[in-house]
Structure 1
Amino acid sequence: MLSVSSAGTTSRQSRFPSDSAAGAGIKEAESRSRQRQQEAEVTPDQDLPQSHSTKNMKSARRGEAGDAGSDLSEQIKAATKENHIRAENTQLMLSYQKGHITTTQYKVLLCSLYEVYKALEEELDSNASHPAVAPIYFPQELARLDSLQRDLEHFFGPDWSGKVIVPAATHRYTQRLREIGKENPELLVAHAYTRYLGDLSGGQVLGKLTQKSLGLRDREGISFFSFPGVSSPNRFKQLYRSRMNSIELTERQRAAVLEEAVSAFEYNIQVFDDLQKMLSVTTETQRDASGFPSSPIMQFTAGVCVALVTVGTGIYFL
């Protein structure tokens, strides 16, 4: 079961500057970023998800070595290119992109997204003054938790927190976010970047596909895709990248952030795959459960089906 968290969002203040201030901030950040020397290749001392291949790790290190220039945002983009493609080509995401998303698929996706953003945003809040987090901390403009709560209530009702179920991959993802929030807050930069900028980019397309596929009116149930605090997504993304590129990191920290960005995509891929398996299992169970009404296993699985709304992911990012 999930618990609702207010996380103090009502008292958050906007940190999104005016057009002139944003332009000055961007120029200043870009000037600092150009002065950086190309980072040397180092091997970070952190573990990656077991599903990471040697190829993925080499990809991150190529970006870390500066193949994409000295800007952290460009290095992350280069390091995660292959992982990004893999995430977009999971079965769940392919169905989504084709407009074949069902209410059931969307609902289980919302459940996992809620857990992920709850962990991410609580850790960002706790580390708001950290030198690596402060430049990219925009709770008023980017926070997704309240929006996800509204969407879950729309589909599950006011007692939604007692009905949702998430796969093991989602728990692994949130555990990682909690871990780095306490031990290595600078690594939160990788997860915030891949999640939020993905939401502001491809996520906007997915929002329109969701509304059309599910026949939703007045954007009810798709608050997750709306950013009322961001008047210009493109301008905001430019500002966000410049702020991120201005973060001062040691060579080892930068290497670790690049590896963590690869990890972020891998965690998301695992979540998508687990959600697809969950949907496949519940679909199969719906065909057979009526023959085993007294079986505890069948009752539990049938309960999962009900929680997903008997017939019955969101993405992230990226």
Structure 2
Amino acid sequence: MDTPPLPFSARLRAASQEVHAAAESQRYVTALVGGELDLAGYLDLVVQHHALYQALESAAEAMRDDPVAGGFVDDALTRLPALEADLIHLAGPDWASRTTPHPTTVAYADRIRTVGGTSPVRFIAHHYTRYLGDLSGGLYIGRAVARRYGLTGQAGVAFYTFDRIPRPTAYKDAYRARLDALPLSPADEAALLDEVLVAYRHNMAVFTALAGHVPDGPGMPEAVA
């Protein structure tokens, strides 16, 4: 009896597992969750997130009514207002004039804008890479950051709080079911996987830039409020 093929979401996860693990093990990430960074080192991450989610959520609006990608656009995931609240708390109301995204972040955001508003499957790839990560390891990072910097409630860590998603595991299961139900051709599947790998490579480049904040990391921080 033939073994049934793996669902697309399982194949996608398996194909990106190596680069996903590489991103999670970046020195900046381990220093952040290990409590090695000063507050400026965390703030710089929030600045980069703001630039990335500004691009992603703009693309989401463009895809809201798309028959393929529209089902993934969910206001419960929206992070930009939370990021702006975090930046105001951490850096003050003038944060935008005192912080700058890294060039690697600008390149990542440009990629999201370039493909996210025109290719439904490549938009889904960036959506999947960021939001499912936020609902997985991101929740752990949020708790570690709050402990490290003495942040209480949502002040400074609102990005990691999904008030409208009380059951992240169930939400992720439903998300993967939507992936499995997509009417994708082999070329579409290949493009989606390719873009997931592109997203992870961009993400690692951002973490490399942020590694300047690590006490024994290379270089100096580029963007500190």
> TM (normalized to structure 1)?
0.65
Judging changes above 3 Å, is the alpha-carbon distance between structure 1 residues 209 and 101 closer, same or farther for their aligned structure 2 residues?
farther
- Of 89, 93, 99, which residue of structure 1 is paired with 2:35? 99
One-letter amino acid of the counterpart of residue 189, structure 1: I
1:205 alignment partner in structure 2: 140
User: 5+ unaligned residues in a row in structure 1: which ranges?
Assistant: 1-36, 39-68, 284-300, 310-318
User: 5+ unaligned residues in a row in structure 2: which ranges?
Assistant: none
Are the equivalent residues in 2 in contact too, given 1:180–1:188 (CA < 8 A)? yes
> TM (normalized to structure 2)?
0.91
> How big is each residue's C-alpha offset from its partner over 1:145-192, in whole Å with a ceiling of 9 and x where there is no partner?
000000001111112111111111101101111111233232111111
2:118 alignment partner in structure 1: 183
The answer to which structure, 1 or 2, has the higher relative contact order (CA under 8 A, 6+ apart) is 2
Are the equivalent residues in 2 in contact too, given 1:135–1:244 (CA < 8 A)? no
- Of 171, 188, 197, which residue of structure 2 is paired with 1:236? 171
Query: What is the percentage of aligned positions where both structures have the same residue?
Result: 30
CA distance in 2 between counterparts of 1:186 and 1:258 reads 9
Per the alignment, in what secondary structure is the counterpart of residue 117 of structure 2? helix
Aligned pairs for 1:1-318 (under 5 A) are: 69=6, 71-139=7-75, 141-277=76-212, 281-282=219-220, 304=223, 308-309=224-225
Query: CA offset at residue 253 of structure 1?
Result: 1.0
Query: CA offset at residue 278 of structure 1?
Result: 6.7
Are the equivalent residues in 2 in contact too, given 1:101–1:210 (CA < 8 A)? no
Larger radius of gyration: 1
One-letter amino acid of the counterpart of residue 174, structure 1: A
CA distance in 2 between counterparts of 1:97 and 1:154 reads 20
Are the equivalent residues in 2 in contact too, given 1:75–1:258 (CA < 8 A)? no
Are the equivalent residues in 2 in contact too, given 1:121–1:143 (CA < 8 A)? yes
> How big is each residue's C-alpha offset from its partner over 1:220-248, in whole Å with a ceiling of 9 and x where there is no partner?
10000000011211111111111122111
> How big is each residue's C-alpha offset from its partner over 1:201-230, in whole Å with a ceiling of 9 and x where there is no partner?
111110110011111122310000000011
